[in-house]
Copies of this chain bind each other. A is one copy, B any other.
Amino acid sequence: MSKQSLPVVDLQAVACCAPLAVRPMDAEQAMVVAPMFKALGDPVRLRLMSMIASVPEMCVCDLTPAFDLSGPTISHHLKVLREAGLVDSERRGTWVWYRVKPEAFRQLGALLDLPATTAPADA
């Protein structure tokens, strides 16, 4: 809510800034970020993530039938994505809607930036 009175540790800041390829990550930062990558490290969750990410929001009722898996299993995977901070969910009446958390997404993307050093840009 209020951004001015930033409480506790700003995990976002800890985890976000330097691309992986720029500076070695310390253990603490790694423990914050690894779970996000881990959450994407399953084919089912990766597809769930991409289905959710490619629209403003997505109903579980549309997610589940896209897989050959039981409801509970999909629910479990969604929970993993939620607890990794990659998506948010909201119940509206009968259905539950999922949407990505763009900050988290951006964070991971930034980590994977390849800052020209390794690129063959100009010889």
Contacts and interface: CB of A to CB of B under 8 A. Distances in A.
B118 A114 contact: no
A94 B50 CA distance: 44
Chain A interface, >50% SS class: helix
Contacts of A45: 34
A112 B118 contact: no
A95 interface: no
A97 to B, nearest CB: 15
B112 A21 contact: no
A76 interface: no
A64 to B, nearest CB: 14
15 contacts: A20-B50, A25-B50, A26-B47, A27-B43, A30-B43, A30-B46, A30-B47, A37-B37, A37-B38, A37-B46, A39-B41, A100-B118, A102-B114, A106-B114, A106-B119
